[in-house]
Amino acid sequence: MPEGDTVFRLATRLRAALDGRRVSRSQFRVPAHATADLTGRTVLAHDTHGKHLLTRFSGGVSLHTHLRMDGSWTVTRDGRRVPRRVLPDVRVLLATDDGRTAYGLNLPVVELVATTDEASVIGHLGPDPLRDDWDAAAAVARLRADPARAVSAALLDQRSIAGLGNLWANELCFLRGLDPATPIGDIDVPALVALAARALRHSATAPGAMQVTTGVRRRGEQHWVAGRAGRPCLRCGTVVRVTGERAAASGRRTWWCPSCQPPPRGVS
């Protein structure tokens, strides 16, 4: 699932392939930037904030993209191209002077902004555990701002803490023994934030750890509850449940173990 750790690793790959190289050809297959041309500019850097990717170019221009559910980036070496069948999915094409070509596929968000104006596209985001400017205290304060909000929904709010998606919201609730409907004001928020930061960093940087929350990489055993509806809990054996309503206002599926994650006080 494209969450903050996914985008962080993507930026690492793009950085190695593109940074320091001159753009020899560019195409933007989105109406807003159909006539834009970055030819001649140098790729300076790739940066991330939560699930957002920023590609910076010489001349003070930044490309802001977001993968959401279906987007991706791939880079081909000199003399190669993506298969013909995926060409209709290309939204951004960046060819460089060493023969490599980066393709942005099915990107739902493609924006060119002045580098000095990046805050216009990412300024609403909360602190990101994968950034050098991570501020745990600020994340705690933002999560506590609405104490009645369900913890699962609070974790999904990118304005509170950036980079956590549905998988991490579910897995973090399990790891802390929290029913996803528990009000955020009733839990140890600093401990939850510390675990979220540690887990996201490990997933983003440790070899083979990408979104493996159980420590087991075997198929079907990588997650404690996410995607395991109707199957036994890996800890206690209770059948894992799923619903699309518990993460209030998120519209996303929520998985939980009713034994390992007892309901909040007053809820049966």
Catalytic residue among 9, 21, 41, 252: 252
- Whether 252 is a known active-site residue: answer yes
| Nearest in space to 72 (alpha carbons), one of 105, 47, 101, 109 | 105
Nearest alpha-carbon partner for 63 in 89, 41, 81: 41
Query: Strand, helix or coil at 193?
Result: helix
Closest CA to 169 of 264, 82, 254: 254
* C-alpha to C-alpha distance for 100 and 81, rounded to whole angstroms: 9
Catalytic residue from among 3, 56, 91, 180: 3
Q: How far apart are CA 159 and CA 245, in angstroms?
A: 21
Give yes or no: 51 in active site: yes
> Which run of H or E residues covers position 167?
helix 166-175
79: phi then psi, degrees, rounded to nearest 5 = 85, 0
Residue of 51, 56, 91, 142 with catalytic role: 51
CA distance 155 to 161: 7
Residues with a known catalytic role: 2-3, 51, 252
